[in-house]
Amino acid sequence: MAVHRQPGTVITDHTFTVPLDHADPGGEQIEVYAREVVATGKEREHLPWLLYLQGGPGGRSPRPLGRDSWLTRALDDYRVLLLDQRGTGRSTPATRQTLPARGDAAAQARYLAHFRADSIVRDCEVIRRALLGEDGRWSVLGQSFGGFCSLTYLSFAPEALREVMITGGLAGLHSSAEDVYRAAYPRIERKNLAHYARYPEDVAAVREIVRHLSTREVTLPDGGRLTPEAFQALGLMLGSGNGSHTLHYLIEDAFVTTPAGPELSDTFLSQAQGHLSFATNPLYAVLHEAIYGQLSVSPAGTRWAAERVRAEFPQFDAGAALADGRPVLFTGETIHPWMFATDPALQSLRETAELLAERQQWPDLYDTERLARNEVPVASAVYHDDMYVDTADSLATARAVRGLRTWVTDEYEHDGLRMSGGQVLDRLIRLVRGEL
């Protein structure tokens, strides 16, 4: 068990062995890694534990650089555990490189069916017992998908929880994947319009990039293909605090003059690849719609919901926008089948993803009756017009969870926990403690 020191912190590595399938505790085992962080000088104090559940799915926990970001506030009061959720980071990996060991695509899909919030929460329970004992309780902080997992935790094992804080992650308890994307596309359009109002010169620049991509095949440095649809997917950035500015700077570096005429620059292509490639988090693409699958809501499965629902919003058709002289709209947090053809990190997982999209009767992730009787202090930051999580869904869920307190704000975007330097977390702490 390695121990390291960074400015203001002491960091301890932990690795836990958990069942792949918690319904079969004696069956195959996998490893889950977590990083314990405590303020320097408090290593031997009996501090309450704060479990951090990262967004995603498929996102590894933050890699701290001393006492930075929201840890600045958390370490005043807590011993923090940064969990690499199963399949991510230093936990047993699930990638194009490792999944072939499972067998064919059907075997891989069966394996990955155990990588949703229900399994993650059961992993947390194994870890809690190992660190705190059977009767120990801890606090939970869930960001985005980590908030979804927190709601599952409140449904499955509320007796393990002292308090729960959620930021940008109150999922719709009864929302299907179709419902999620049908509500998302209008929000994505609003984020586009706000971006173009901020940077009006980007309207013509984006149209020129899409026109260029429509007339020739463009390859990214990793061998992936940059199609108009792939370029539109850069709109994922528009839901973060500085995403619009980052996108603008990317666009302004798009073209360079060569002897053969204008070409997309190496700088642009390299940066675009960094935003578009799923090499570091393939589970985000493979399982993204599965996180909404619930037997009681959508027994037929998710079936590429974002792709099907997009047809209801023709304003996102890049070719039609060029023909009509309209601004080309970027898309957002949507996963499409074509991504498994254009991204080298996903190509070998295409059949696996198809099987997961067609998988039926996903177990329910939330116990609405238990949530209605909740006794655990819960507070949530709800970001007004969050591009990734529907505000109406979040507020409906807040009403459905007994005692849940909300802070609705337009001061931050979806990444407010990280961008606020501890202010969002401080507000949530004071809410769950009844200080506000």
Provide the greatest CA pair distance for the chain: 71
Q: How far apart are CA 199 and CA 191, in angstroms?
A: 12
Closest by CA to 288, choosing from 86, 34, 117, is 117
Task: List active site positions.
Answer: 144, 386, 414
DSSP state, residue 348:
G
The stretches of 240-390 forming alpha helices (DSSP H) are 243-252, 266-276, 282-287, 305-310, 318-324, 339-342, 350-358, 368-372
Q: How far apart are CA 341 and CA 328, in angstroms?
A: 23
Classified as helix, coil or strand, 210 is helix
**DSSP letters of 102-165?**
G-SHHHHHHHHTT-SHHHHHHHHHHHHHHHH-TT--EEEEEETHHHHHHHHHHHH-GGGEEEEE
Side chain identity at residue 65, one-letter code? L
Closest by CA to 140, choosing from 122, 126, 153, 127, is 153
Classified as helix, coil or strand, 19 is strand
Report CA-CA distances (Å) from 416 to 167, 422, 424, 426. Answer: 8, 9, 7, 12
Classified as helix, coil or strand, 363 is coil
Integer-rounded Cα Rg, in Å, for the chain is 22
Give the CA dihedral 411, 417, 421, 425, nearest 10 degrees.
100
- Quick count: other Cβ atoms within 10 Å of Cβ 211? 14
Beta partners for residue 225, in sequence order: 219
Q: Which residues lie below 8 Å from residue 191, measured CB to CB, with a gap of 6+? A: 235, 238, 239, 244, 332, 387
Residue holding tokens 């988090």?
A: 281
